[in-house]
Amino acid sequence: MVIILIGLLTVVATFLGGLFALKFKDKLHLILGFSAGAMIGVAFFDLLPEATILGSKQFNSSIITSVVALGFTLFMLLDRFFSLHAHGDEQCGNKNHRGQIGATTLSIHSFLDGAAIGLAFKVSPAVGAIIAIAVLAHDFSDGINTINLILKNFGSPRQAFKWLLVDAFAPALGLLSTLFFSVPEATLGLILALFCGFFLYIGASDLLPESHHRHPTILTTLMTLAGIAILYAAVHLASI
């Protein structure tokens, strides 16, 4: 019963974040600034610590940080050779494809978030509750990030809403999937480290520059700082 309730909460939290981004899409540069900070905050304050804790049961810190760097590099290569283009056509299909790749990454991460909750409950209810609170704390920003990645890459609101549905249900599906399998904690740590690298690239090399493009930098910078601070506070409070 508890697992089902948590699954529903992850859907609601992600969905509300996405609806917020859709409603205020005319302020996209400010939301992008916040989203960039939230992405970076998730990477540093949530994914990296969890990857270190879980992965250290079998791997040393050098291997874990190398996997983070691998994730950053892989996403950069994917971005450079399969998504970007050399011209400025805003309706280019490749530009929209780039947003879909980013949304896919977020959805896979959300699925793994749900799986992490389920696997943590197999360790103990207390550990499961801590992981669940941490996941719920940033699910709202996951919804915002998914919408932003589609809209900023010239996808339609309809496309953005479809990806929001995928991302919203992903953690619930990930959680339910753990009823049928288990993953060694150390392996889960390496997976989280890989996604830490992905998120660092998306936040720092994609969302952050875009949020400052043709807009005043003071407000967008403040929004980025707010995104980092809020994710730090949310993860910190979740661990108390």
In the chain, what are the domain boundaries? 2-238
**238 vs 240: CA distance, rounded Å:** 6
Report pLDDT for 9: 93
Percent helix, strand and coil across the chain, each to the nearest 5:
85, 0, 15
| 156 band by pLDDT with thresholds 50, 70 and 90 | confident
Count of CB atoms situated within 10 Å of the CB of 63: 15
Q: What is the pLDDT of residues 31-86, one digit of tens each?
A: 878 888 888 988 898 889 888 988 998 999 999 999 999 999 988 887 777 554 33
pLDDT tens track for 164-216? 999 999 999 999 998 888 788 888 889 889 988 988 988 888 677 767 766 66
Q: Are 94 and 154 in contact (CB under 8 A)?
A: no
The DSSP secondary structure of 110-176, one letter per residue, reads HHHHHHHHHHHHHH-HHHHHHHHHHHHHHHHHHHHHHHHHHHHTT--HHHHHHHHHHHHHHHHHHHH
Q: pTM of this prediction?
A: 0.68
Dist CA 179 CA 172 (whole Å): 12
